[in-house]
């Protein structure tokens, strides 16, 4: 077994250091292990696995959710979100600081991409906050924190990948992640409220815009396009009207309607959206296939059972195991992006976690949260790159400002580990109806 693990590490290291894309590198590694340690017909197996993985109902929704995000990126939804949310924030300590986190939370419910959420929401809310004189550090940190919700609140592209590789219901994963996503957003907003209450100088004294109740009710019309899209995607899924793949198609149609109504999509924009979604889908599809090949080969060679037995022999409690995995993924995030982290580790880590008694749906939410934390771990920190592009600040400056939000995520991860029902109960309750 040690020989197999050694070859796995050597092959992956050599291929990745040679500049091979991670998808082909995974497939090549799986084929090599299959040839070296089994006598099974490689060609037939790869063909069968490719068909089974790339035609699953979960993976079919992937290109459509990506296309929906590409289309929404070219609309004026960010302006609508700010205009619709801002008048209602005057009641809260911290006022307009909350527009960033709340805007990211709402946009996450129609996007699925953390980087897209950060960029689309941030280019309006962050600009407005800085222009009005709000504290730069807290504004930047709130955007980095809010952007982390892009993968957690459904629909989530990494969660689709997890559903395929873990062979779990996508609808159950979406349902289980909804409450944790907005709970984290609530924790972020609470932190900003307390911080500004303790230090009012973080907000400008002259930002005393007066909104009447008429203005507030009128501003809700700005949230109409967002509400329409959420209803088209999440509403149809949870209402039993559409499956996740059908809901993704409705989301694309809804995004086109919004873009046409706002007159924000040209023929060139449509072409760019289609090309962008094709490129992203092909890249992710190759990675998913490669991960499935490696995972299936390792399972046939009983590598996960060996690793699980070795870890069990260490005598770690389930809580310590999960905290160890959280640190492991955060460290791994300093050199790898989120998709690569999922596909490279899941074939070995998932059996270990299940053997420790954790639920597969719960672990999916835990994994997405840790992946989000890794997205703000320098030097490979895509959310920080996006914020740098918006503000021109250094990555070190942005990384320091996101530390409080990062620690809140760590504390929340410990909370759901101690109380896993917080994640699993909504899916069990709603989908049992």
pLDDT (tens digit per residue) in 332-369:
777 676 777 887 788 888 888 888 888 899 999 999 99
Per-residue pLDDT at 366: 93
- pLDDT average, residue stretch 302-327: 78
Per-residue pLDDT at 408: 92
Q: What is the CA radius of gyration of the chain?
A: 22
The number of angstroms, rounded, from the C-alpha of 200 to the middle of its chain's C-alpha atoms is: 33
Range of the structural domain that residue 150 is part of: 59-431
- pLDDT average, residue stretch 127-145: 85
Domain-located, residue 50: no
Residue range 249-278, pLDDT digits in tens: 888 888 888 888 877 778 888 888 888 888
Q: Is the pLDDT assigned to residue 379 strictly greater than 70?
A: no
Q: How many domains does the chain have?
A: 1
Residue 158: Cβ within 10 Å count: 23
Residue range 319-337, pLDDT digits in tens: 888 888 888 888 877 767 6
Three-state secondary structure call for residue 358: coil
- The rounded distance, in Å, linking the Cα atoms of 345 and 349 is 6
Torsion angle in degrees (nearest 10) through CA of 394, 372, 132, 130: 10
- pLDDT average, residue stretch 393-421: 88
Least-confidence region, from 163-167, 170-174, 217-221, 361-365 = 217-221
- pLDDT average, residue stretch 305-320: 75
432: confidence class by pLDDT, cuts 50, 70, 90: low
On whether the CB atoms of residues 148 and 383 are closer than 8 A, the answer is yes
The number of angstroms, rounded, from the C-alpha of 426 to the middle of its chain's C-alpha atoms is: 19
Per-residue pLDDT at 282: 83
Domain-located, residue 199: yes
- pLDDT average, residue stretch 166-181: 87
- pLDDT average, residue stretch 40-57: 77
- pLDDT average, residue stretch 390-412: 85
Burial code (b: 16+ CB inside 10 Å, e: under 16) for 209-222 equals eeeeeeeeeebeeb
pTM above 0.75, yes or no: yes
Per-residue pLDDT at 214: 79
Mean pLDDT of the chain: 81
Domain-located, residue 244: yes
In the chain, the percentage of residues whose pLDDT exceeds 90 is 7
61 Cβ contact list (under 8 Å, min separation 6): 155, 160, 170, 244, 245, 247, 248
Per-residue pLDDT at 378: 64
Per-residue pLDDT at 416: 92
In the chain, the percentage of residues whose pLDDT exceeds 70 is 94
Q: Is the pLDDT assigned to residue 318 strictly greater than 80?
A: yes
Per-residue pLDDT at 302: 76
Per-residue pLDDT at 204: 80
Torsion angle in degrees (nearest 10) through CA of 133, 138, 141, 143: -40
Per-residue pLDDT at 288: 78
91 φ, ψ to 5°?
-75, -25
């Amino acid at each position: 077994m040690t020989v197999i693990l050694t070859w796995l590490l050597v092959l992956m290291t050599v291929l990745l250091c040679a500049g091979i894309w991670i998808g082909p590198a995974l497939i090549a590694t799986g084929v090599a292990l299959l040839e070296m340690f089994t006598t099974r017909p490689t060609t037939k197996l790869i063909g069968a696995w490719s068909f089974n993985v790339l035609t699953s109902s979960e993976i079919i929704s992937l290109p459509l959710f990506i296309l929906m995000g590409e289309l929404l990126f070219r609309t004026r939804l960010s302006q609508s979100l700010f205009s619709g949310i801002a008048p209602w924030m005057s009641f809260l300590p911290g006022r307009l600081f909350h527009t960033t986190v709340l805007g990211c939370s709402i946009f996450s419910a129609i996007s699925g991409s953390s980087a897209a959420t950060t960029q689309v929401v941030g280019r309006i809310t962050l600009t407005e906050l800085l222009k009005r004189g709000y504290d730069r550090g807290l504004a930047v940190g709130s955007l980095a924190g809010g952007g982390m919700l892009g993968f957690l609140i459904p629909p989530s592209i990494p969660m689709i990948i997890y559903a395929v590789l873990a062979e779990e219901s996508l609808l159950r994963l979406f349902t289980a992640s909804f409450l944790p996503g907005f709970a984290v957003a609530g924790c972020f907003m609470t932190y900003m409220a307390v911080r500004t209450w303790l230090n009012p100088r973080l907000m400008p004294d002259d930002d005393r815009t007066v909104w009447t109740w008429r203005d507030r009710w009128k501003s809700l019309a700005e949230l109409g396009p967002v509400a329409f899209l959420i209803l088209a995607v999440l509403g149809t899924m949870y209402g039993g009207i559409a499956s996740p793949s059908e809901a993704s198609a409705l989301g694309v149609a809804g995004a086109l309607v919004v873009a046409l109504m706002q007159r924000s999509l040209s023929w060139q924009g449509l072409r760019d959206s289609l090309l962008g979604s094709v490129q992203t889908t092909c890249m992710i599809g190759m990675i998913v296939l490669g991960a499935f090949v490696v995972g299936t080969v390792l399972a046939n060679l009983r590598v996960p059972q060996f690793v699980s037995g070795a870890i069990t022999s260490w005598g770690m409690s389930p809580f310590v195991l999960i905290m160890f995995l959280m640190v492991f993924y955060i460290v791994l995030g300093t050199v790898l992006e989120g998709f690569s982290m999922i596909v490279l580790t899941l074939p070995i880590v998932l059996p270990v976690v299940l053997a420790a008694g954790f639920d597969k749906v719960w672990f999916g939410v835990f994994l997405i949260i840790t992946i989000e934390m890794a997205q703000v771990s320098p030097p490979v920190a895509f959310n920080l790159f996006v914020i740098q592009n918006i503000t021109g600040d250094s990555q070190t400056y942005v990384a320091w400002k996101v530390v409080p939000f990062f620690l809140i995520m760590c504390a929340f991860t410990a909370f759901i580990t101690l109380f896993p029902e917080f994640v699993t109960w909504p899916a069990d309750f709603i989908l049992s109806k």
